[in-house]
Each structure stands twice: as structure tokens, then as C-alpha cells.
Structure 1
Amino acid sequence: MAMPGMFKYLLVSALFIELAAAATYIVGGPNGGWDMATNQQTWASSQSFRVGDNLVFQYSPSDDVAEVSIGEYDSCQASNPMQAYGGGLSLISLTSPGKRYFISSIPSHCSAGMKIAVDTLAGSSAAPAESPAVSAPITSLPLGFGFSPVPSVAPEISMSSPSEPHVPKPSPSRSESPVPGTSGLAAGVQGSEDSANSTPLSRSTTTLDSPDSSASRSWFPSGFGKSLSFVVMMFMAL
């Protein structure tokens, strides 16, 4: 006894999967069906049917569904139906806009409420597919997963002329008060440094007075005597 009901359930499920692209309505559902206990007109007025939708009629095998004209719909007489369906399960596709009328071919059942008028609107019930969004070009590495934005570094522009040599600026030195008694020593040191910095190292020939009046060549740099005097003065100051 349970097999026919199970078969009907599986068949309806297969129909739903096949027609997933369109809206499919179980007539009188979800709490009713194509029977006299369901108010078919109230159910139909609560729906919005569009071209491409489908109607599923579930009913007793002893009953049927007939598509008729408006005159036969009003009189509940299916003397010349446009289409007749039977077997307990019928699928009807709404392929064009406009009104269509369905009744039970049994006059007493039709008069008891097994009749429905379906108004199909133009257009499809399926939502239009959204156009894919265009991705903006990536200008920096994304945050997360160990990445961080890498800013672009502007090249350094030198404002000096190409012909001008680069002269480093001297760093400012701290001014200190001279220690009493060392002013002369500082002056001597400064003079020795100036002389050493201004006089280039060069080889010079110096004639030394000797008893035999012989000439000897000295290889000491110019200013060596002043530097030696500076060293002696430093030892004396200590």
C-alpha cells in the first residue's frame, strides 16, 4: 500500500529537480492539493505566475484535470476540453501569457470547488544572472597571509648642478672654554696643524754645514721640524 505513495513522491521530486530553472507550483500546496477540500481560487490568487512556470496537479487516480474555455469553466461542463489529463499526477507548463482555465471533468467535483483560473504574466520568474564584476588592477600586495602594502619609492632628485662638486658640510663642533695655562699650547698646536695641512709633503734638498763642506740629501718632509717641536712641547706640558 505504501509503494504507490512512495513512487508518487519520488516522481514529484524528480520533476522538481528537472525543472529547477523555473518556478514550479503544486496546485493547492503546500497544505492541500487538487481536491474538493482545498480552496483553489484562494490559492491561485495568492500566487504570481509567469511564462516558463509549471503547475503540478496531484489528485486521486479516479479524478482528472481538464483545460477548458471560460464558458465551460463557468458552467463546469467539460464537453469539449482543450486538453485532458489523468493518472493522479499531471505537469502543465505555462508557455504563454494570459488566462487559462482548469476544472475537474466530473461536474459535481467542479461545482464543489475543483476549478482554477490561472493568470500568467509575461516574463520569467528566474532571477537574471548578474554580470561578473570587473576586477581592478592590483597596485599593491594584499594585506594578510604575510603580505603588507609596498609603497612605491620616488627616485631622489639632486638639485645641484652636474658641474658642481659635492662639498660635504662640516659638522658643528662644540665651543669649549680654554683651560687656563693651555692657551699658548693650543695656539702652537693650531699653528702646527695649519702648517702641516697647508704644506704638501715633498722631497727637498737641504745643504748642511759640515767640517768637510760635503753636501748630503735629506729625505725628511717639509715641516718635519715643526712637527717634532710640537711633540716635544706636548711632552713638556705633561
Structure 2
Amino acid sequence: MKATKDILQIWRKFNDFPMETITKAWYSQISLDNKQRTVELMKLHREKYGTSGNCFDLAIWLIDEFRKNDLNCYAIFTPHSHVAVVVANEEGSTYLCDLGDQWIEPILIDRQHEEYTEEFLEGFFPGSKIRMNVQSNHLVVTYRRPNGKDSKQRFDLTPISDDELLAAGEKTQRKLITPLVEKRLFLVDQVAHWEFDNYKSFTSYKTGREKEIELGSMEEWANRISRKSGINEEIVLKALKVYSK
């Protein structure tokens, strides 16, 4: 179920990228026109401020990298405005690539492939086992947490055009609800998952979730988020102030 080398060498360029809604709040105060950034602008912001972006930013950027390496790919949506990428390797086998949910690595979604299985698997998603169920026009992913609790996510496998993707990205970038940051932590024995969600933070390990001490000020939160994510602390603080309004 693991992706082939041609896909992994592109995917791993994003290993240190968090998924975050910090950037869109900060950028909303800068751009009066388009809110969905170009790949060139995303690269500039990452170099200067350590930002990355939300699931739309990451999907658009990943698609650009795949296409530069002559790999066919396209975006797919869930019913709840989440976006991921489907890419085909040189042999034509297809894989799900979901940077927005901070998967550890891509996973096979080709039912005809001899390696395809619908058993629960480890090593693809931080702190959870996952099971794939691919149908003709949709994909259901089941996540099993260490406490045995299951949750599901459904993707429509209909390819999304570039124009549709950019339009949906623009719409999403204009919605400022709550600040969210997720970051994979590549440890010696596992890949854990750190998350900040509306002034609570925790890390998910193979053994379960560990909550962090809640902080008392926006400045303290900005410092913690910056240390965990690599995003410039001043940018984080500006974004938190936007959300607070």
C-alpha cells in the first residue's frame, strides 16, 4: 500500500510543513484582492516566515510539484470542504496524498493492484490505524484510535479541475473561524501529531493523546505555536489577534 519512489521523493519535500490556518488570517489583512495565494507566493512566505498554509494551499502546492516531475494528479474533495490529491505513478497506480490532514505518507487507492487491502494498517496516519475502502466513485477512510474509537472520512473520487480547485480555495481562504495548526513530529520510534485547536493543544502518539498545559495569554500561545510549527512568532500573534476579532 506504500507509494513508489517517484511519488515519495516529492511527498517528502513537505515532511516539515504544518497544516495551518494562521497564514490565511495574517494574509487576509494584507491582500485586498485574491486570498488564495499562488505557489510562488507560498514559497516566498515559507522562506521568509516559515508558513505553509491550509489544506487548499498544500494541495495546490503539492500538485504543482508533482506536475513539474511529470506525474499526473488532481484534487478531490470531501463533503466538508477538505481537499486532498490523487496522483498516479509511472505505472498508472493511484495514491491518496493528504497533506491537509498530515498523513505520514501517501497510500494506494487502486483496487486492481495486487497490494491493495482493506485491512487496518499502521504507519500511514499519526496516532491511528487506518483502513481504506475504495468504491467506483468514492473512498471511505476509517481511522482507529489507540482507545479503539473509530471515525470515518469520505472522499468523492471525481477529479476536480484546476479552476474549481482555485475557486474553492478562494472561498475557503475568506472564511476565518478558529485558529488551527497541525504538525507531524518525526520521532525516533514513530511519527506523532501535534495539534493546536482554538486554544487547546495536544500530541497524539501510538499510545494515545497527551494534553498540554493551557496558557494564559495570546503571546504565550503564539510562542508555543511558533516553537512547534516553525512559523514566525510575530506572524502567529498577528493571526491570533485577527481571529480574536
TM-score tier (shorter) = under 0.3
Greater share of strand: 2
TM-score normalised according to structure 1 size: 0.19
Greater share of helix: 2
TM-score normalised according to structure 2 size: 0.19
Query: Which is higher, the Rg of structure 1 or of structure 2?
Result: 1
RCO (CA 8 Å, sep 6+): is it higher in 1 or 2?
Answer: 2
